[in-house]
Homo-oligomer: A and B are copies of this chain.
Amino acid sequence: MATPPDVRAAYDAYLAECPTRQLLDRISNKWVGLAVNALAEGPQRYSDLSRRLASISQKMLTQTLRTLERDGLVQRTVTPSVPVRVDYALTPLGRGLLPVMRAIKDWAEQNMDDVLAARTRYDTDAVN
């Protein structure tokens, strides 16, 4: 019995002071979206993720994974071999976020053409 279920209705991301706005800010992030999507295929090593999220710096990858771990979305597992092996996997909480992150990435890929067309239209008309 941690917290009563209906307390959650009190959260409202429209309000600046509400902690959910900060959470919304965290998960509304390019690297978070790509990392969660990548981990959907199962646990991955640090180097796997590094290759998958092409051009991400170690700094951003580590920082992203640490934040996800702290927020309980990702589980970090260290195997003390030589050299060290570190695996990252989605937690149940993280798997709950997966459908949403997948939907965002899919939307971007599927509507890229329309957005590109809209930009061209906007920029062309602006010349007048």
Contacts and interface: CB of A to CB of B under 8 A. Distances in A.
A77 interface: no
A70 B118 CA distance: 6
A80 to B, nearest CB: 18
A8 B112 contact: yes
Given A20-B108, A34-B13, A114 B28 contact: no
A55 B14 CA distance: 9
Interface of A is mostly: helix
Interface string A100-127: 1001110111111111111101110000
How big is the A interface, by class? 35 or more
A78 interface: no
Contacts of A7: 113
Given A8-B109, A20-B108, A27-B104, 11 more contacts: A11-B109, A11-B110, A12-B109, A16-B55, A20-B105, A24-B105, A27-B107, A27-B108, A70-B118, A70-B122, A97-B107
Interface of A: 2-3, 7-8, 11-16, 19-21, 23-25, 27-30, 32-34, 38, 52-55, 69-73, 93, 96-97, 99-100, 103-105, 107-119, 121-123
